[in-house]
Amino acid sequence: MPLSLADRATYLAYDPGIAPAEGGLPGLSVLKNVVNSINLFGIIAVVGALAVSLAVWAWGHHSGGHQAEANGKKGATVAAGAALGLGAANGIVMFFSTLGSQVK
């Protein structure tokens, strides 16, 4: 007995049959290289930001500039958080992707 349109729509809503697969579109390797390059650029920028922030923190501390010292601390904290995020990006995405694929 064939399924009615409503039954087919209900079945499709529960199991669309879609899963990530490599090789489906051309240019996937190029896209991966671009994203890897963006990640590397971000890490290099964070190293520079951390160096500048630490220098501002030290300068503010030794010159008595409390605002500069606070801004240097803030910048160092933000740079460290950005480095953590950039380094953990693959793991974070993989964790939530795996978690999402377990939803039934």
Residue 4 pLDDT grade (very low, low, confident, very high; cuts 50, 70, 90): confident
Question: Is the residue at 30 inside a domain?
Answer: yes
Residue 95 lies in a domain: yes
Q: What secondary structure letter does DSSP report for 24? A: S
Structure tokens at 22: 């490599």
Where does the pLDDT of residue 22 fall: very low under 50, low under 70, confident under 90, or very high at 90 and above?
Answer: confident
Instruction: Answer whether residue 3 is part of any domain.
Output: no
Which residue would you say has higher pLDDT here, 45 or 1? Answer: 45
Question: Is 92 a domain residue?
Answer: yes
The pLDDT of residue 28: 86
In the chain, count H helices and then E strands: 3, 0
Residue 54 lies in a domain: yes
User: Whole domain around residue 29: which residue ranges?
Assistant: 23-101
Question: In this structure, is residue 27 part of a structural domain?
Answer: yes
What digits encode the pLDDT tens for the residues 25-51? 888 889 999 999 999 999 999 999 999
Would you say residue 68 lies in a domain?
yes
Number of domain units in the chain? 1
Let me know if residue 6 belongs to a domain: no
Q: How confident is the model over 78-101, as pLDDT tens digits?
A: 999 999 999 999 999 999 988 988
Q: In this structure, what are the phi and psi dihedrals at residue 39, rounded to the nearest 5 degrees? A: -65, -45
| DSSP conformational letter for 91 | H
**Where does the pLDDT of residue 5 fall: very low under 50, low under 70, confident under 90, or very high at 90 and above?**
confident
Closest to 48 (Cα-Cα) out of 20, 92, 79: 79
